[in-house]
């Protein structure tokens, strides 16, 4: 089993992590290897699916060149600071530089207890592992920065959650696992050297341009803020709800990370919450920009000692979040309805549509996808119209929209490139997980994964995957991945 490791985080001081091997499992069995991703990383997918490879993916065998460790980090969980979280159920095997020249972490999640496990068992259940596989790969196919899934294996052991569940290990691939909470870990210990070493490492790895700036740490902060603003705008534009935007789940690289009780919205409602542990709606769909900014303020606090004229620097840096987010979000909304040139009143048009959608509970994904057909030819308008209750108000809106569309060239094709037909709808995800967990039937998972790999390519044979849940299929909560 050859993985071309090239490790760098392990060269950081040894209080940044705890070195330990994954804990072997009883009977590893492959669920799936992500062949395309393996190839991109320079790993032979056939080796990964061999018994030797499966032993590696289960944590039963440490491959040559791996230097396994659990990373230290802290974090605000639902607003409460926890000075020591860390990888309680994951080990970083090492890093590889892919064919695209990008360095990525390879991590086993669910690989057994570590010094950071607190009272947890260090393991993951099959359902959450498959959810992370489906949703992270769907996000990647949608073009949204995200950690990826290289593989999933079952362990042949059970884990005890509210009930006995089959255990599994997910192999996660990430630009890095540096979180806002990683900075907080050192800042909370008044470890100024640690903060600086981590910042230097993050700059070198993710923001090399910042190193050349007049004030590298300020440039770093600005760059992280810009990437988060872009990321959250992208989430909102496809109806994604992360569910647990704690500072330890906020990646400094700008990738979506830590898929727990995440979900996509069906009917448009900005107050939508799925996570069963989010009682106050802190991480509701429409609250995500505010929370991201709050998380970034925690990062800025950690960097204060490194910044010149620091109070003002932090204020200016954080002040750039809202305009950046708004430009991305409103620009994205305009593109979703085919407005490719900038005109007076365009934002009113997008906002009025969202207002109608919210009032009538119109399905977010389906509305925008069907508007593509309506943009193609007025006859296509009939299908999207059925999603609205107040058809008079909708007709008034489409009247304005059609008038505006005459100023655009071929808007329908551009719209189809940004409005997915297929998202990991919650009821489909739950059904795929249930089949795997309750009946060891992985076919629905495989089928759904295939559909989600081409989210913008409509296919009439797959129409059921585009549809919102019927009342009895509706999923109200998803549970935390732990």
Instruction: Tell me the site size for Mg ion, rule CB under 5 A.
Output: 3
* Contacts with ligand AMP, 34-73, as mask; x by CB under 6 A: ----------------------------------------
**Minimum distance of ligand AMP from residue 21's CB (angstroms):** 16
CB 276 within 8 A of CB 478: yes
Q: Which is nearer to ligand AMP, 358 or 480 (CB)?
A: 480
CB 152 within 8 A of CB 133: yes
**Integer CA distances (angstroms), 326 to 331, 350, 426, in order:** 8, 13, 27
The structure tokens listed for 8 are 């760098």
Q: Give the C-alpha separation, 349 to 346, whole Å.
A: 5
Residues in region 112-171 near ligand AMP by CB under 6 A: 116-117, 120-123
CB 402 within 8 A of CB 338: no
Instruction: Tell me the site size for ligand AMP, rule CB under 6 A.
Output: 19
Residue with the two structure tokens 């900038």: 342
> Out of 87, 132, 373, 430, which residue is the one contacting ligand AMP (CB under 6 A)?
87
Q: At what angle do helices 216-238 and 310-319 cross, to 10 degrees?
A: 20
Residue 88 engages ligand AMP in binding (rule: CB under 6 A): yes
Residue 171 engages Mg ion in binding (rule: CB under 5 A): no
Active-site residue (options: 87, 105, 230, 248): 248
87 binds, among ligand AMP, Mg ion, none (CB under 5 to 8 A by kind): ligand AMP
Residues in the chain: 482
* Contacts with ligand AMP, 94-123, as mask; x by CB under 6 A: ----------------------xx--xxxx
Q: What are phi and psi of 142, to 5 degrees?
A: -75, -10
**Integer CA distances (angstroms), 155 to 48, 89, 121, in order:** 16, 14, 14
Among 441, 178, 225, which residue's Cα sits nearest to residue 324?
225
Contacts of 277 (CB under 8 A, 6+ apart): 78, 244, 261, 480
Residue 481 engages ligand AMP in binding (rule: CB under 6 A): yes
- Concerning whether 105 is annotated as a catalytic residue, the answer is no
**Minimum distance of ligand AMP from residue 185's CB (angstroms):** 11
Residues in region 256-275 near Mg ion by CB under 5 A: 258
Q: Which is nearer to ligand AMP, 244 or 314 (CB)?
A: 244
Q: In terms of DSSP bridges, do strands 90-97 and 103-109 run parallel, antiparallel, or are they unpaired?
A: antiparallel
**Minimum distance of ligand AMP from residue 75's CB (angstroms):** 7
Cα distance between the two ends of the chain? 30
Residue 87 engages Mg ion in binding (rule: CB under 5 A): no
Residue nearest to Mg ion (CB): 258
Q: Which is nearer to Mg ion, 230 or 248 (CB)?
A: 248
Q: Give the C-alpha separation, 23 to 110, whole Å.
A: 9
**Minimum distance of ligand AMP from residue 258's CB (angstroms):** 5
Q: Which is nearer to ligand AMP, 260 or 468 (CB)?
A: 260
> Out of 89, 227, 282, 370, which residue is the one contacting ligand AMP (CB under 6 A)?
89
* Contacts with Mg ion, 239-258, as mask; x by CB under 5 A: ---------xx--------x
> Out of 166, 260, 420, 455, which residue is the one contacting ligand AMP (CB under 6 A)?
260
**Minimum distance of ligand AMP from residue 261's CB (angstroms):** 9
Q: Which is nearer to Mg ion, 411 or 481 (CB)?
A: 481
The structure tokens listed for 437 are 């967990």
> Out of 249, 253, 288, 350, which residue is the one contacting ligand AMP (CB under 6 A)?
249
The structure tokens listed for 363 are 């399905």
378 binds, among Mg ion, ligand AMP, none (CB under 5 to 8 A by kind): none
Cβ neighbours of 52 (radius 10 Å): 14
Q: Give the C-alpha separation, 86 to 90, whole Å.
A: 9
360 binds, among ligand AMP, Mg ion, none (CB under 5 to 8 A by kind): none
> Out of 25, 69, 85, 238, which residue is the one contacting ligand AMP (CB under 6 A)?
85
Q: Give the C-alpha separation, 255 to 249, whole Å.
A: 10
Q: Give the C-alpha separation, 359 to 339, whole Å.
A: 23
Contacts of 289 (CB under 8 A, 6+ apart): 229, 232, 233, 236, 322, 325, 329
User: Which of the 8 DSSP states describes residue 478?
Assistant: B
Residues in region 1-40 near Mg ion by CB under 5 A: none
The structure tokens listed for 354 are 């969202």
Q: Kindly calculate the radius of gyration of the chain based on its CA atoms and give it in whole angstroms.
A: 23
* Contacts with ligand AMP, 455-474, as mask; x by CB under 6 A: --------------------
Continuous segment of H or E residues that includes residue 201: helix 192-206
Site residues (vs ligand AMP, CB under 6 A): 85-89, 116-117, 120-123, 244, 248-249, 258, 260, 480-482
Site residues (vs Mg ion, CB under 5 A): 248-249, 258
Active centre residues (catalytic): 248
């Amino acid at each position: 089993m050859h993985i071309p490791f090239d490790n760098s985080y392990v060269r950081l001081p040894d209080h940044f992590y705890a070195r330990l091997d994954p804990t072997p499992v009883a009977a590893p069995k492959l669920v799936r290897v992500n062949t395309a991703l393996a190839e991109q990383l320079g790993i032979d997918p056939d080796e990964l699916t061999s018994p030797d490879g499966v032993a590696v993916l289960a944590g039963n065998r440490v491959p040559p060149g791996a230097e396994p460790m659990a990373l230290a980090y802290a974090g605000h969980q639902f607003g409460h600071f926890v000075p020591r979280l860390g990888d309680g159920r994951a080990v970083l095997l090492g890093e590889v530089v892919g064919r695209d020249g990008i360095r990525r972490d390879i991590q086993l999640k669910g690989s057994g207890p570590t010094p950071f496990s607190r009272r947890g068992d260090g393991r993951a259940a099959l359902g959450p592992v498959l959810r992370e596989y489906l949703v992270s790969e769907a996000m990647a196919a949608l073009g949204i920065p995200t950690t990826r899934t290289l593989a999933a294996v079952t362990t042949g052991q059970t884990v005890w959650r509210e009930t006995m569940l089959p255990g599994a290990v997910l192999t996660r691939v990430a630009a890095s696992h540096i979180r806002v909470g990683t900075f907080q870990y050192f800042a909370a210990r008044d470890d100024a050297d640690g903060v600086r070493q981590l910042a230097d490492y993050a700059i070198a790895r993710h923001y090399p341009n910042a190193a050349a700036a007049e004030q590298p740490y300020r440039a770093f902060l600005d760059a992280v803020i810009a990437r988060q603003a872009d990321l959250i705008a992208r989430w909102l534009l496809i109806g994604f709800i992360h569910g647990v935007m704690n500072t330890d789940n906020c990646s400094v690289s700008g990738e979506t990370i830590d898929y727990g009780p995440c979900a996509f919205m069906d009917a448009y409602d900005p107050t939508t919450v799925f996570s069963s542990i989010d009682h106050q709606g802190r991480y509701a769909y429409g609250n995500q920009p505010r929370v991201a900014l709050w998380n970034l303020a925690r990062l800025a606090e950690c960097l204060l000692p490194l910044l010149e004229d620091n109070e003002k620097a932090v204020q200016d840096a954080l002040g750039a979040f809202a305009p950046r987010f708004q430009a991305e979000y409103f620009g994205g909304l305009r593109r979703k309805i085919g407005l490719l040139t900038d005109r007076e009143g365009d934002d009113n048009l997008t906002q009025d549509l969202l207002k109608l959608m919210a009032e009538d509970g119109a399905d977010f994904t389906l509305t925008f996808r069907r508007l593509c057909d309506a943009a193609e030819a007025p006859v296509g308008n009939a299908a999207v119209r059925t999603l609205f209750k107040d058809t008079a108000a909708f007709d008034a809106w489409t009247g304005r929209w059609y008038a505006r569309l005459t100023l655009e060239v071929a808007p329908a094709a551009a719209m189809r490139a940004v409005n997915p037909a297929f998202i990991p709808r919650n009821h489909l995800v739950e059904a795929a997980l249930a089949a795997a967990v309750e009946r060891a039937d992985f076919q629905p998972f495989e089928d759904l994964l295939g559909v989600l790999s081409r989210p913008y390519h409509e296919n009439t044979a797959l129409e059921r995957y585009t549809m919102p849940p019927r009342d009895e299929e509706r999923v109200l909560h998803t549970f935390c991945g732990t």
